[in-house]
Chains A and B, each alone.
Chain A
């Protein structure tokens, strides 16, 4: 079955450490997204990519970085510059860049600080 796989499900970060969250999709979708979810705040867009080797900042990109070297992969790095990284991170994808198709979501990675 096609879908979006996020790993790991749970991740712990030490102070000053960078961590990378994995997102892989086998849906052949062009667009991929990273969201951060905090209690009571809904989902906020971190980065998105509409095509391989291109990505744009979302609403809360500071302290995060991404790459899109392959169509099926869109990893997110939470850097030490992100001072409040504890949150639930969701990866999503869409079939194309301009259509009305909604986004499909992975099951998330929960990041906590040690």
Chain B
């Protein structure tokens, strides 16, 4: 069984400030982890993914995330927020073993950027 917890359904940061969106996971086997972004009335776009290679993963739009096994975390960060980062962000987990491809999503964090 697997699950994802995103702490904070709403996060506000000032333009130019650090963005930190939290994700903790639970998985009975080594996980693959993903962050997606969703703009209003659109589908999800992949930001980045962890698939058991480097623990620090760099994605698009300046985002990165670090896999910390000891903390079962995969937090998303960006050094300097931009107005265009305002969106909803979803963390997702799936087991790494064969034959179990289903993603389990968190409930999302809505990011607001303050001018």
B-binding residues in A (CB < 8 A): 4, 6, 31, 40-45, 48, 50, 58, 90, 92, 94, 97-98, 100, 102-108, 110
> Can you pick out 25 interface pairs between chain A and chain B where the beta carbons lie within 8 Å of each other?
A4-B43, A31-B101, A40-B107, A42-B90, A42-B107, A42-B108, A43-B90, A44-B105, A45-B102, A48-B102, A90-B43, A90-B44, A92-B43, A94-B101, A97-B101, A98-B99, A100-B51, A103-B103, A105-B36, A105-B44, A105-B45, A106-B43, A108-B41, A108-B42, A110-B41
- A103: which B residues are within 8 A, CB to CB? 103
A61–B75 Cα distance when bound, in Å, is: 31
Q: Which 8 interchain pairs have the tightest Cβ spacing?
A: A105-B43, A42-B107, A42-B105, A43-B105, A105-B44, A100-B51, A107-B43, A102-B46
A50-B41 in contact (CB<8A) = no
- B interface residues with partner A (beta carbon < 8 Å): 9, 32, 34, 36, 41-46, 49, 51, 90, 96, 98-99, 101-103, 105-108
